[in-house]
Amino acid sequence: MARSRMGAAAIVLMILSMVGVVGCPAWFTSTAADVLVPVEEEVKLGEELATELERELTFSDDRELTTYVRQLGNTVLREVDNKPEGLDFQFHLVDDDEMINAFAIPGGGIYIFTGLIAAMDNEAELVAVIGHEIAHVTRRHIAQRLVAAYGTELIAQAALGEEPGVVGQLVRAVAQQGFMMSYSREQERDADRWGVRYQSDSGYDPNGFITFFEKLAEQPSPPVFLSTHPPPTERIENIQGHIDELDRPGTDLNVQRFEQMRGRI
């Protein structure tokens, strides 16, 4: 395993030096992520990170609400047809009513904050965010960011448990950003595009994406969920374009069930 990864690394580096590429263009990190951070390595790193996050975060003890979030996540996952083999999706509900936030970690751990649910009005809005976070994982944005930030060798060592300091470093970096990976604008756009598809394929009204962003844009200070993302107006425009391309958009909002669940927060 390690040998084939090193072989691939050598080949990529050789090609780069042959064509005289300087720096690290987007296509390189994208290719390198697929070749150099195999899914199983990303999953192992995610497990390390999840253990750290268990210490850092408080999880909801409301079993009904937690089950609800997990069921919604699995409903979306069933419709995802571009899932790389071996990812390990898990949905966690973080008990923090003040924080409008959600994030994904390597391997497929998705963390939804109770404050996010409290700020929403229907299930389609929640599924929009879940779909967006799933897309960051399936589209391998996380692997790409890891390669860009830490290099392949360090990631491999962290995944093998040879470099415990790296995991701590990652957790601190994630915590500093309000528990979010810092994605590029391109990656955010891509996650929105695929998120709309996942959400609509699961039967939900993709306009939930738009109503949620409109609500966030009205907040006096932008919530952490938006701080590293492109401006909401730009996202809304792009998302509307993706919705217009859908053949048969979903229609579910499930307002009543959602309000019942939100009432538990």
What residues line the site for Zn ion (CB under 5 A)? 188, 191
Query: How far apart are CB 218 and Zn ion at their closest, in Å?
Result: 20
Choose between 184 and 240: whose C-beta lies nearer to Zn ion: 184
Least separation, in Å, of the C-beta of 229 and Zn ion?
6
- Please, which residue, 44 or 139, has the CB nearer to Zn ion? 139
Q: How far is the CB of 5 from Zn ion (least distance, A)?
A: 28
Minimal distance, residue 141 CB to Zn ion, in Å = 8
Beta bridge mates, 110: 91, 104
Closest listed residue to residue 207, CA positions, set 246, 234, 256: 246
When the beta carbons of 45 and 180 are compared against Zn ion, the nearer one is: 180
Provide the minimum distance between the beta carbon of 28 and Zn ion in the complex, in angstroms, as a whole number.
22
Quote the tokens at residue 213: 């962003």
Q: Residue 128 or 191: which CB sits closer to Zn ion?
A: 191
Instruction: CB nearer to Zn ion: give 68 or 225.
Output: 225
